[in-house]
Structure 1
């Protein structure tokens, strides 16, 4: 059964609720077997099931609002939601119900105000006023579902990162490419980055190319770069600053103190970035057939592990000056 109507957030919520119901049944079964629940209407069982059945509510909220956040963050947010809900219900529930039952006009006014706010948000969206701060905040409050274009873009982006493993002597077993939303984000390539705290120049170069490979792949395949590359670019910037600070033939100011030093650093970073993007474009052009095949595989399968990646990258040729690294001796 497909849940296209709900998008990724809905599918994640449905799966979470299904798992939750199984947990409820298991807990209830264990308690019955060990005779902890003699009467299903006693206070203990009511409290237990009351708490557990609140989980679908907070799972729906956290997965809807934060579908790509870390699972720990979602569970912590959910626990906070449960605690606040139970406290508010016990502290103010009776008084609130009594007040609104005695003053129905107040309840009607509150409902009308909420409806007007919703109507205003809808009007802002449908009439193109997304530059308005209120509409922009609403747009970012509820994330859109994962679209077909998102699928294609993520597959291309992660294929770019994955191509970098053709420059290692042996692809480690922990490497995997994920081209779908997960706790890591919209997509993920596990295994990139520096492998030693005291890294050599070629290792820095390889790690920096890994950071830019997703952007370069989008530019090569689509002609544009999407905003999902921001985190990778920030990682490249951090590595580039450390790299330039350690080059014997390069002047780079780790802590610039005036405009001249800042401009000098910016120029050095821009030149390095252009060299890296040019090298990556040359790399993708030289191996365009392999790159296209990897994009197609990721688009269809969404998940490629080390064993299959080795086969897909076997025909790759490296251009002159492309950095290579050794990963086969990583064991201490």
Structure 2
């Protein structure tokens, strides 16, 4: 297929493009800078912030995968930061959806990144794609983010919302932030540690996106998580065991709220016991179903097949 990818410079996007090319697809990439005519992957410029995108230059597209959005973690959420987080997702999704819908021959499928933050803080409640949205900034952002693809839906494009859990990879994300504290025996559970963390390995994210390209019967939300969510306290124990380092520290919830504010509450203390029912029902096979296996692979192992295969 000829596949359009946006957000291709990030951890997920760069690995996805590499895999799609390896699998024989032709990839074209949207960039927010001057396109490089000599790039190995064809580049087309767009500017979601100002609504600028001349889609007539694209030619025929069979599928599109949109991975846009600034990071939600790293610092407290000011009003300006929250606006940037939300609008970077909503504006880009709306612009791309409208552009694809207006093509003479629209693509068959558009996969848009979303997040399990859609469900809000739900405690012990098992969450599937049928669960209603929760409350909070991330839930509200995810609702608007997914609704921004309405133009594509209305044009008859199959739209899939990939609700990512915590992506476990040494290349970035959660593991990159917590690896050093745990290696230096400064790791520990957050709050009471009872909150559920829905996780997924990077290989399973890439395989899952590729898998959905060919699943014509699947549309709407798809939870991108492993079948085995873990509590934060279990994550802490497994990190400690994998790195052979003690994890004695505990960061009390009031300290997290004081230092990180709303961001800390919604990303560190929030509980989402999410399960990937749609992928499981479709016959998807995970490379990593156990967190201990992926932690060993990402933190200790240096050589082996990380990616597995899904037909």
TM-score (normalised: structure 2): 0.23
Higher helix share: 1
Larger radius of gyration: 1
